[in-house]
Structure 1
Amino acid sequence: MGEAETSRRARERLLRGLAWDDFCDTLKQAGRLVEAFDDGQGGGPSDLERAEWYRFLSRMVRNGFERMIENCEPERPRLRDAPWRQSINVQNPDQDHLMCEFEDGRHAYRITGDRGTLPYFVMATWTAPQPADLAARDWAASGVAGLAEFDPTNLETRSFLTSRDIDFDAEGRFSVLLSADEPTAGPRNWLRLDPDATGVLIRLVYDDRRRVVPPHFEIERVDHPRPRPIEPEEVAAGLAKSGQIVLGYAELVRRWWQENLDQRPNTIVFSESTYLSNGGVLDRLHGFGSWRKGRDEALVIRFRPPECEHWILQLCNRWQENLDVYEDGQGYLTKFTAKPEPDGSILAIVADRDPGIGGSWIDSFSHETGVFSLRLIQTEGGPAVTIHRLPLARLEREGLAALDTVTPILSGQVTD
């Protein structure tokens, strides 16, 4: 199919309402994936988890619309924060994501701004599978199988640039060029943009938000095109991408849980390939696992973090979302909030209430299972992790001495 015919069909699909119908049908496909978690033996999602599942899908709808409808105009690039209260793939509560979507990497861009007092950030470009005629075709009938050809969530990082590789003036101002060719001045303040790039993501890493002067970032196309009205075929493309985002993230959650995390409860494994499979960058080491305990139980976690820019131990639900108490500063620990033990180790207690035995309490907020992670930025390696699972009442009664008769679960290995 030639470019003109592709554009004509995409335009017709939108004007006849077919693109909208296909988007709605794709959402139905995504919603049904929750049934894949039911093992037939009472081990499926609880009522709480099902409620969070459908809320998760609604958040992915917002994510798709914000990124692919509102923020994907070729002549008007924008850096926009991820939609409020949505967290994809165990997103760090102390990390903001600024995103700008492209059709491709044919244009050059410039990002300017000032860092405020932000200690660290990293920019990255990515690509994802998307055929040239995506707006001219229906996708719902293909379901999950269609993601092999068209999946805006299957992000592959192509280049990245950390704040350590950028020159700033005395006030913290900077300018970074995004282009295919390296500038004559050299690679500093340059982010390579491949022809098939579909977006740029800036991860802003905070230590203490209350004390950080917020940064400011803007993006522009170097050739400064004049804005124009939107075309029907562009809306058709945006609807197709938005629908596949919802389906793609729903399937990603299912695949990670059933094919990986659920098979090794209460362990954290550092895997570069797992993290990089969804747009990760090589400035950090990221360990994932599943956690599991009863409402009347506790998990006692101990590890000794190495020297690094930032680390976070994070508790999430089965859908890889932060627990709702993250807005209250709960559900996670960081390098800047944890209380180290005298030997430098971190003692974390995961439970529905604080047992009052010292260390740092992480509220499991009425959940019995989910995803957890240990992320370390600018580190040389990861720590060994020891986890004890035991009755909460016993831990409250006996304190840490109760661990002496509980077999520990050892993890923290780096697999690749």
Structure 2
Amino acid sequence: MDKDGNFEIVVSSEENKPAGCKNWMKTLSDPESAMLIVRQTYNDHDNEIPATVTIEKLEGQTLPTPVTCEQVDEALKKSALFVGGASFMFARWAKGFQKHVNELPLFDQEVSNKAGGDPNIRYFHSYWRLADDECLVISATPPKVETWNFQLNNHWMESLDYRYYQIHVNMHMAHYRKDKSIRIVIAHSNPAELGLENADAYDWINTTGKPLSL
């Protein structure tokens, strides 16, 4: 990485690894690698600069080969399998999370990794259920890490609408208590209206009207 934070990563097979390359990722031949995922984590969406990512082919033909009917047919089949498989997997996960409603245990890291989760991130997953006049309070003392985040999802593990509702909080946004702990309050309406003491810091997470979810 240079002084401005720019860096290059070479993705290739073992035999095509450039000599002296410091940032290298090995492709797989069995099964053949066909996907590269880039994730960027934000603490402050309003002020942090999104990464600019470009891909350059270093050797061989630069023009793409024409797409065949067989390739289109195969891609459509894979798309259908992905939609069906992802829906089935998240539905199975959600069913398992309902075994510990309104609790927040650590998720199985091996299961997370196999599904494409970042092996450097620890996930806590569960299901919550609240009546109209109830709220769920989560108290914790975050460890010293690069970042942490808490968010509400729907049944299919998709985040709720963060554009218009406060459905998440991270280390940059959180209101810390004097002892460096945090208190997250999941509620249908502003906790101040429920009589929660304003003197003690907390972060309200809006259910967006859902009685239960992830």
Could you say whether these structures have the same fold, taking a TM-score greater than 0.5 normalized by the shorter chain as the test? yes
The letter of the residue matching 1:178 is V
Q: Does 2:128 align with 1:291?
A: yes
- The number of equivalent residue pairs is 201
Q: Does 2:206 align with 1:363?
A: yes
CA distance, structure 2, for counterparts of residue 316 and residue 169 of structure 1: 37
The letter of the residue matching 1:176 is I
Structure 2 residue aligned with 1:239 = 76
Alignment of 1:157-306 (within 5 A): 168-181=1-14, 182-186=17-21, 188-195=22-29, 196=31, 197-225=33-61, 226-258=63-95, 260-270=96-106, 271-306=108-143
Gap change, CA 1:296 and 1:277, over 3 Å in 2: farther
- What's the C-alpha RMSD, in Å, of the aligned pairs? 1.6
The letter of the residue matching 2:8 is S
The letter of the residue matching 1:289 is S
1:224 is displaced (CA, Å) by 4.5
TM-score calculated relative to the size of structure 2: 0.87
User: Is residue 295–residue 352 contact of structure 1 (8 Å, CA) maintained in 2?
Assistant: yes
Structure 2: gaps of 5 or more residues: none
1:339 is displaced (CA, Å) by 0.2
CA distance, structure 1, for counterparts of residue 151 and residue 207 of structure 2: 11
The letter of the residue matching 1:191 is M
User: Quick one: percent identity of the two aligned structures?
Assistant: 27
1:308 is displaced (CA, Å) by 0.4
1:329 is displaced (CA, Å) by 5.5
1:171 is displaced (CA, Å) by 3.1
User: Is residue 310–residue 335 contact of structure 1 (8 Å, CA) maintained in 2?
Assistant: yes
Q: Could you give the per-residue CA deviations for residues 154-201 of structure 1, whole angstroms, max 9, x where no partner exists?
A: xxxxxxxxxxxxxx2233332110112244215x21112121223111
The letter of the residue matching 2:203 is S
CA distance, structure 1, for counterparts of residue 42 and residue 147 of structure 2: 9
CA distance, structure 2, for counterparts of residue 180 and residue 361 of structure 1: 48
Q: Displaced runs of 4+ in structure 1, greater than 3 A?
A: none
Q: Could you give the per-residue CA deviations for residues 332-375 of structure 1, whole angstroms, max 9, x where no partner exists?
A: 1101111011111110111111121341100011111111xxxx
Q: Could you give the per-residue CA deviations for residues 6-40 of structure 1, whole angstroms, max 9, x where no partner exists?
A: xxxxxxxxxxxxxxxxxxxxxxxxxxxxxxxxxxx
CA distance, structure 2, for counterparts of residue 287 and residue 275 of structure 1: 11
CA distance, structure 2, for counterparts of residue 170 and residue 300 of structure 1: 43
Secondary structure in 2 aligned to 1:235?
helix
CA distance, structure 2, for counterparts of residue 190 and residue 279 of structure 1: 19
User: Is residue 11–residue 26 contact of structure 2 (8 Å, CA) maintained in 1?
Assistant: yes
User: Is residue 165–residue 206 contact of structure 2 (8 Å, CA) maintained in 1?
Assistant: no
CA distance, structure 2, for counterparts of residue 267 and residue 275 of structure 1: 19
